[in-house]
Structure 1
Amino acid sequence: MVNSLYENDFQLWINSTIQQLKNGEFDSIDLENLIEELTSLGKSEKNALKSNLMILLAHLLKLQVQSDAPETMKISWYNSVIEHRQRVLTHLEDTPSLKNFIPEAMDKAYPQARNLAIKEGKFAALGVRIPGEGEYPLTCPFSIQQILDEDFYG
């Protein structure tokens, strides 16, 4: 069995496929691997959005549930919210069709965000109150508009 260019030199395969597309050499294209890579790229874009939403939601939750935490602790949560919200907004700007994926991404990311916030909350120190799991809502308490609003912090 002969190994394909795809298996031996991925970058060369990409360059070759691009050139074949530019030249209209459609019969020469490794269609099976091209479809696989495009499908994977779409999944990767969705996973990146979901991952940033998870961190954003976790820190919005912590700001809401642990509102009594000292400002020195909360400042890192604010910074994280700012950073991950900007990543989400940039992602949506670069790939506008992902806006349709946000409700599904939130449904998948929120339980993970809640779990993360609970775990991180257990590491509270310096006499800071450790919230009980029941203080973290089972369903997302934030709307999509709030999550994307650069002035919203829970």
Structure 2
Amino acid sequence: MSNTLYNHDLQLWIEQTIQQLQNHEFGTLDIEHLIEELVDLGKSEKNALKSNIKILLAHLLKLKIQHNVPDSMKASWYSSIVEHRQRVIDNITDTPSLKTFLTEAVEKAYPDARKLAIKEGKLAKFGVRVLEESEYPLMCPFSIEQILDEDFYGL
């Protein structure tokens, strides 16, 4: 039944599983799917952290590399940096064990952040010079401390 319920109505399966745990009905638990959901939950936490780091790094990189853009463009990057840095800090505050994943998350997110910064840079308007891809560092130019420093903007 729970296998069918799991495949048919995940929310109801979750509610039933919580009820079984609260009632100490361990023998009736759908252990296989419970393990699967817990593994996915852990992946989800890491993916959220990595996603926020990617956007944060992309905009830090743009501020560092794209010097000649109008202040209006820089303002949106500053706002994004503030927002995504706070999300990263919240991720780590809510789940302190994610701090051990930070270095790996930066290493995994930076190539995508670099691609994003390059793509967005190619969309530049207002007579802004489009930079060459080679002008964007292949390795992340920011330390973990800088990435988390609320007063650091890559400049």
TM-score between both structures, scaled by the size of structure 1: 0.96
Q: How many pairs were matched up? A: 154
Evaluate the alpha carbon distance shift between residue 26 and residue 67 of structure 1 in structure 2; reply closer, same or farther with a 3 A threshold.
same
Identity %: 68
Which region of structure 1 is more displaced relative to structure 2, 1-10 or 128-137? 1-10
Aligned to 1:75: 75
For residue 148 of structure 1, report the CA deviation from its aligned partner.
0.5
Which residue in the other structure is 1:4 paired with? Answer: 4
CA distance in 2, matches of 1:3, 1:28: 11
1:18 maps to 2:31: no
SS of the aligned residue for 1:4 comes to: helix
C-alpha distance in structure 1 between counterparts of 2:111 and 2:21, whole Å = 42
Aligned mates of 1:3, 1:110 — CA distance in 2? 39
Deviation at 1:68, TM superposition (A): 2.0
C-alpha separation between the residues in 2 aligned to 1:51 and 1:2? 33
Per-residue CA deviations over 1:43-98 (Å, capped at 9, x if unaligned) read 01111110110000000000000022111111011011011111111111111110
2-structure distance, mates of 1:137, 1:48: 24
Aligned to 2:84: 84
1:121 equivalent in structure 2: 121
AA aligned opposite 1:71: D
Measured in 1, the distance between the counterparts of 2:133 and 2:11 equals 47
- Cα deviation, residue 3, structure 1: 5.7
Q: Is the 8 A contact 2:110 2:139 kept in 1?
A: yes
Cα separation, 2, equivalents of 1:112 and 1:12: 37
What corresponds to 1:40 in structure 2? Answer: 40
* Unaligned residue ranges in structure 2 (runs of 5+): none
7-16 or 29-38, which moves further after superposition?
Answer: 7-16
Structure 2 Cα separation of the partners of residues 135 and 4 of structure 1: 54
Where does residue 134 of structure 1 map in the other structure?
A: 134
Unaligned runs of 5+ in 1: none
TM-score of the aligned structures, taking structure 2 as reference length = 0.96
User: SS of the counterpart of 1:128?
Assistant: coil
Instruction: Let me know the Cα RMSD of the aligned residues.
Output: 1.4
